[in-house]
Structure 1
Amino acid sequence: MHRGLRIPEVVELICGEAKFSTLVALAQTCQALQPPALSVLWRDQSDLMPLLKCLPSDLWELEEVENRPTRLRFRRAIAPSDWTRVIFYAVYVKSFVESGLWPEIYAALSLSLPKSPLFPNIRHLTWRTGDDVFPYIRLLVGDKLRSIVVSMHGSEAIRASLLPSLTTFHPKLTHVEFDTLIADRPMIYDAIYSAICSWNHLEKLKFGALNLPAMLHLARLPNLKYLQLSRFPSDSATIREFQAKVASTGAIFAALRELYAPRVFHLSIEVPTVTEDWQTLNTVLARKSSRTLTRLSLNEEFSHSHDFIDALERMLTTESIQPLLSCPNLVELSVGTAYGIDLDDAFLKQLALALPRLQKLDLSPGCQSARYVPQVTLGGLVPLAQHCPNLAVLAIVMTPPTSIRTRKKSPGAVSATRPSPTSMSSSPPYRSPRRWHRSYPRSSPICGSSPCGKR
């Protein structure tokens, strides 16, 4: 046998490319290749049925129920000797997704299993169950668990009671996701906040909202790469993602200042209103992550209470996003506000010179920006063509020359994407400059749209 085949990790990688039938044949015919073949066969399970069918055939039967899935039923009591084959294969299970087995099956397994947990080597568990099955989570997992997805929909007392045991028996969890969109569940939220503050190895967390102590705890974790939260009250300081989405009000800056900057490379920030906080936020981001930040999305949370009266006062100024020009590695920049951005050709030139690696630039208008006509001309796009050769997606507010002079016409949003087809729109008033066409010969049609996105 080749010496490379004596390395279990190498053999398992090879087995990972094999077909199911090939793995079965390897496990049955070659003793040396049996462990890696079985590891690949059993590592990801979305149902307990394959394991249950390893129990003696006289122990169980499948029961057909009209208009319902086939149901497994035990014919007799489960003896300790019945578990031999199940335990042999269960050690290979690394990931399990609960798929709705009947609660009496879990009860029988829990009472008869000679040695728990059933999956001693499991590393990921998805547990979205009803209250009748939820308590049996401890039946399955051992101390090697590193990733868990748990539904918090159900009995508040039952769900909240799980959290202390997770922190006690699984202190090294790295990936945690809690399904809940119900704000009025203080027992669950308090238990989750406490649990989060006990985990020091988190790399990924998805949840509904965070209080300030939990947020600050996460901000100090050196390995945290991804944090996503669903909607939250506008007066709560909440991080939504470091790698994806972050929502911010005043107290967020304290947390961002404590972030380990090298870990921050992809942020999406949503705030309720455009205020001076935008400039403060951009300054903090530029100071902490100027060399590592590659993707940034800033979006104002739309509110129907917004009016048109103070639209000019509430527009985002170029000074507010000026600090981001000190992040030369940005490849994607998206800034969206309800009232648009007060752009001009001079700022676009600064941006093109400062961010030469841009692949996507989205400075498109919001639905409340119709009262203001920006001053970006077609000539303002030339620096982007000159200095941003990789720019593939552009969404920006422009206005025809006549509109700039009269300030009467509504602006249009110009969106350009560089991939095929190889065509260019020449309809007035958006005639593409020759320099742009030479730089981006494969651009798809450039089209005008209203501030609200209606073409």
Structure 2
Amino acid sequence: MHRWIPDVAQLIFEFIYDPIRTEEDHEGRATVVALARTCRAFKDPALDVLWAQLHSLDALVICSGGKRDVNNKLIWDRPLYDADWRILAQYGKRVRTLTISSQSDTWDISTMQLLSCFPVPGPILPNLTKLNWLSNREDFFPFLRRFCGPNLMALSLSPISWSVHKCAAIASLALSCPLLKEFKCVDAEDSSMQAISEAVVGWNSLQVLQVGPLDEQALTHAGSLQTLQDLRFSISDLKSPVLEFCSPRAAVEISIPSPSSFCAFIENIHFSTQRLHLFCERYDGMFPELFFSRLKACFRNPGELLELGLVKTIPHNRSIILSSIMLHPLVSFKGLNYLNLADLCTSDIDDAFLEELAVSCPNLQDLYLGDKGRWLIAPQATFDGVVSLLKHCHQLFSLGIFFSATFKNDFTDVLRADAINLNIKNFSVGASPIIDPMTVTVVLSSLIPNANRINHCAHGSAELQDMVERWDTVNTWFKSFVSARKHSWEQGWLEGKAVLERNVTV
């Protein structure tokens, strides 16, 4: 039998049944089970595929003599003998991914206790690379380390409540899986900060770290990792630590209580990251006027920042109004290709600022300015500002902007050939005021002919109802205007070509 047959067979079996792609493919699983019984050459690669990912420990219990009791709980009702342990070892070494679900009440604690008596030193599943421990059961957490071995690369936790036992189990994780690359515990709270921080300090190969609050030592360690690609944490009572985030490839996501608390947090922080996203729970009564100035001061080289976002996580419509002066520091981030301020009211930014932003940040691909709110405040920006963005930012793919879709002069002034953008697919106007749908359709069908539709606030107060209906009218006409314009252009091109050919002939 050729050596390459098991490898080829495993690739074929993974195509037939891929548990990572779907966990409900009963037909594919049954096919691979049948193939495992076909011949010796197929047995091992087929079993590797079947056991690669488990969504519970049920299979391991049942295959080694366990059963369900009258309460539908999985138990072993007899001692495990040498043959049972060998079966567990045979199948356990094939498991690569394990999920301990939040619905783990079907297990009796005696089952976990007996399983932890596995006679072979080390973890129960020695080749496990990914563990999703989603159970909140207090009595299960002490057994977490029995599943965390030196080959574990990804670990996800989601406890609802935190206790001393859970914190103790997490604090010592780094010793069990020192080469961990991905750790997620996004539901962590203040009471777990010290335990999670202690574990984080012990990992030197992290690529993904998504947690709640961390202490200064853990943040300093995470910020120094050159391997880091994704960092997410929250701030609470951590006041103005001295930190240096020097992982340029890492996307940094910070959950903040409010913009004011973030300003206090970043007084002694320096960023060298290319992607920064802030998730705000609430907006203060007054948005800090120097927010973006202080943010700019945190970057040693603002021109290296590629992505910046400020998103609110709790829906509300408080009118935090940003002016051109407050946003002016953004023009220093000349490398930006993504800017998301969709949740903020940008009614006080004007066309002059939009033109300066467009000239300073020509690489913008996704830009959102105030298009998520149902603002009743008249915006200062007009079609002239939109044209400036289209003219200078040729790579724009998505544009959302709160502006006045009206015209003080002849609308033909904005129909400029150098402002036509064929890349924009998504265009959002939020609650932008509009008076004449026909004129707006003429302009937009010329400037952004490849847009899928004009997105706007679908519902709003009685004051916004006329706006909603007018933008609906624009969407009704938009595709027809684009088609008519294209047909007219093609017809004119053919007529011009015919005239040219006649002149050449003469």
Q: Deviation digits for residues 385-442 of structure 1, max 9, x if unmatched?
A: 33445534322121255899xxxxxxxxxxxx8369xxxx996246427454224224
**Quick one: distance in 2 between partners of 1:219 and 1:117?**
30
Q: For the Cα contact (< 8 Å) 1:349–1:383, is it kept in 2?
A: yes
Question: What secondary structure sits across from 2:401 in the alignment?
Answer: strand
**CA offset at residue 358 of structure 1?**
3.4
**Quick one: distance in 2 between partners of 1:152 and 1:73?**
24
1:275 pairs with 2:316 = no
Q: For the Cα contact (< 8 Å) 2:331–2:360, is it kept in 1?
A: no
Q: Deviation digits for residues 307-349 of structure 1, max 9, x if unmatched?
A: 88xx68x77634121112x115x1x321256553642223323
1:51 pairs with 2:51 = no
2:385 to 367, 380, 387: 380
Q: For the Cα contact (< 8 Å) 1:63–1:72, is it kept in 2?
A: yes
**CA offset at residue 49 of structure 1?**
1.2
1:196 pairs with 2:200 = yes
Paired position in structure 2 for 1:364: 370
**CA offset at residue 41 of structure 1?**
1.6
Larger RCO (CA within 8 A; separation ≥ 6): 1
Q: Cα distance 1:439–1:279, how it changes in 2: closer, same or farther (>3 A)?
A: same
**CA offset at residue 300 of structure 1?**
6.9
Q: For the Cα contact (< 8 Å) 1:219–1:256, is it kept in 2?
A: no
TM-score between the two structures when normalised by the length of structure 1: 0.76
**Quick one: distance in 2 between partners of 1:45 and 1:301?**
34
2:270 to 242, 256, 259: 256
5 Å matches for 1:85-124?
85-99=87-101, 100=104, 101-111=107-117, 113-124=119-130
Q: Deviation digits for residues 33-52 of structure 1, max 9, x if unmatched?
A: 44433222211111111122
**Quick one: distance in 2 between partners of 1:419 and 1:429?**
22
Paired position in structure 2 for 1:297: 309
Q: For the Cα contact (< 8 Å) 2:331–2:361, is it kept in 1?
A: no
**CA offset at residue 105 of structure 1?**
0.7
1:232 pairs with 2:236 = yes
Paired position in structure 1 for 2:491: none
* Greater Rg over alpha carbons, structure: 2
**Quick one: distance in 1 between partners of 2:53 and 2:89?**
16
**CA offset at residue 304 of structure 1?**
8.8
**Quick one: distance in 1 between partners of 2:435 and 2:92?**
68
1:428 to 435, 453, 467: 435
1:208 pairs with 2:206 = no
Aligned residues: percent identity? Answer: 24
**Quick one: distance in 2 between partners of 1:286 and 1:451?**
43
**Quick one: distance in 1 between partners of 2:300 and 2:458?**
32
**Quick one: distance in 1 between partners of 2:341 and 2:358?**
15
**Quick one: distance in 2 between partners of 1:366 and 1:235?**
31
**Quick one: distance in 2 between partners of 1:89 and 1:338?**
54
Question: What secondary structure sits across from 1:399 in the alignment?
Answer: coil
Q: Cα distance 1:40–1:255, how it changes in 2: closer, same or farther (>3 A)?
A: farther
Q: For the Cα contact (< 8 Å) 1:361–1:395, is it kept in 2?
A: yes
**Quick one: distance in 2 between partners of 1:81 and 1:282?**
65
**Quick one: distance in 2 between partners of 1:450 and 1:377?**
23
**CA offset at residue 268 of structure 1?**
0.9
2:76 to 74, 77, 85: 74
**CA offset at residue 222 of structure 1?**
0.6
**Quick one: distance in 2 between partners of 1:155 and 1:448?**
41
Question: What secondary structure sits across from 2:86 in the alignment?
Answer: helix
2:140 to 133, 137, 145: 133
Paired position in structure 2 for 1:83: 85
**Quick one: distance in 2 between partners of 1:123 and 1:192?**
20
Q: Cα distance 1:30–1:215, how it changes in 2: closer, same or farther (>3 A)?
A: same
CA RMSD of the aligned region, Å? 4.1
Paired position in structure 2 for 1:16: 14
Q: Cα distance 1:154–1:393, how it changes in 2: closer, same or farther (>3 A)?
A: closer
Q: Deviation digits for residues 194-224 of structure 1, max 9, x if unmatched?
A: 2222222111112221222222221111111
Q: For the Cα contact (< 8 Å) 1:336–1:364, is it kept in 2?
A: yes
* Letter aligned with residue 339 of structure 2: L
Question: What secondary structure sits across from 2:117 in the alignment?
Answer: helix
TM-score between the two structures when normalised by the length of structure 2: 0.69
**Quick one: distance in 1 between partners of 2:319 and 2:30?**
64
**Quick one: distance in 2 between partners of 1:204 and 1:253?**
26
Question: What secondary structure sits across from 1:379 in the alignment?
Answer: helix
Q: Cα distance 1:44–1:30, how it changes in 2: closer, same or farther (>3 A)?
A: same
**Quick one: distance in 2 between partners of 1:427 and 1:163?**
56
**Quick one: distance in 2 between partners of 1:365 and 1:445?**
12
Paired position in structure 1 for 2:253: 245
* Letter aligned with residue 168 of structure 1: L
* Unaligned stretches of 5+ residues in structure 2: 18-28, 257-261, 410-423, 469-506
* Letter aligned with residue 74 of structure 1: W
Paired position in structure 1 for 2:164: 157
Q: Cα distance 1:230–1:280, how it changes in 2: closer, same or farther (>3 A)?
A: closer
Paired position in structure 1 for 2:398: 393
